[in-house]
Amino acid sequence: MKKLTILVAVLAVAAGALAADVDLRERAVTDAKAAYVADPSAENLAALERAAAAFQGGLKSIEAMVTETEPNDTPGTANTVADGDYMVADISPAGDVDYFSNGGNAIQDLVYAAVNTAGGSAGTDSQLNVYANDGTTLIEFDDDGGPGLASCVAGGVAPQAGNVFFAVNEFGNNGEIIPYEMHQVVAPASAAISEVEPNDDAATATPITAVFVDGALSAVAADVDFFSFPADAGDIMEVIVDEDPDVNGTSPDTELDLLDTDGSTVLAAGDDNSSLNNNCAGSAVAPSTGTYYVRIGDGGLGNDLTYRFTVVVNGGPIPVELMSFDVE
């Protein structure tokens, strides 16, 4: 019988829904392993490999997750997050504000962040303020730049070195949002690549090899740009677009799609339908391990067709400790 070594991430996992999901994935690995031992067919081998990849992806998503601790209602009590972290929190009770801080940043670093309010048990209408190191200088504000009534900021420039503060509240401060996610990236503008044309379909997609990607839509009707990136089963993916990277006051009103590995099935979408300069897709969980795609088109409201975006996968690369098990 062929000997198979499967790599499995061994990480400390958090409590809650994601941990329960990982428990289910672990049981799926156990069941798939037993099925392969009983019948070492190619079909059962493929099923075992898929289960192991999904288990590792789920662990990676938990490793990147930071759960808020109250009180965090001011810059002085902000929860600390690092590059590669995403936050899971509640706006509760009504009137609550949650602060998070990302430290060690340089002047002129670019700030991208997306609040995902879909799928919760209460509330979807968020607002997001981003402040500089002094906790009062506003870098950028957004209300409805994300899907539905969610918020995102993109391309804000840090005027001070040190911390960047993210403050999330419910619109009107008279309701709850339970729960929400917030994904964030703070990095220098030099950490960017440019699209490579032609990239009008999944087959010619520009690979994403840097934190930021710069692109431009042509004036041709129905022009779209495709980009590709790898993800593992269970990874949490988010796309955040700055529609005015040259800061000239005009933007293309992007239509944004996060696509499955087939290059056509939409997993998440964003279209702010306005002259706002930010757009984000809303987070989606990768159904399988493979290559995923970002599709950006012009909604028709702008004359300047340049954009810059970032893709966040579990907040960024997550180091894991690996061990192996053998199937005899």
d(CA 174, CA 13): 34
The Cα-based distances of 109 to 21, 164, 184, 280, 303 in angstroms read 36, 10, 13, 20, 27
d(CA 56, CA 61): 9
Q: What is the pLDDT of residue 19?
A: 58
Mean residue pLDDT across the chain: 84
Question: Per-residue pLDDT for 318 more than 60?
Answer: no
- Give the CA radius of gyration of the chain: 20
Under a CB-based contact definition with an 8 Å cutoff, are residues 244 and 155 in contact? Answer: yes
Assign 300 a pLDDT band (cuts: 50, 70, 90). Answer: low
Helix, coil or strand: residue 254: strand
Q: What is the pLDDT of residue 276?
A: 65
d(CA 256, CA 237): 14
Q: What is the pLDDT of residue 324?
A: 38
Q: What is the pLDDT of residue 7?
A: 30
User: What number is the average pLDDT over the span 10-27?
Assistant: 52
User: What number is the average pLDDT over the span 287-315?
Assistant: 85
Q: Please return the burial class of 59, using the count of CB atoms within 10 Å of its CB with bins 0-12, 13-18 and 19+.
A: buried
Please name the residue ranges forming H helices in the chain: 17-38, 42-63
User: What number is the average pLDDT over the span 230-253?
Assistant: 87
Question: Per-residue pLDDT for 274 more than 80?
Answer: no
Question: Per-residue pLDDT for 6 more than 50?
Answer: no
Question: Per-residue pLDDT for 25 more than 80?
Answer: no
Least confident of 49-53, 83-87, 118-122, 152-156: 49-53
d(CA 309, CA 50): 30
Question: Per-residue pLDDT for 285 more than 60?
Answer: yes
d(CA 266, CA 259): 5
Domains and CATH numbers, the chain: 4-64+318-327 (no CATH), 66-187 (2.60.120.380), 192-313 (2.60.120.380)
Question: Per-residue pLDDT for 286 more than 60?
Answer: yes
User: What number is the average pLDDT over the span 205-212?
Assistant: 93
d(CA 281, CA 317): 20
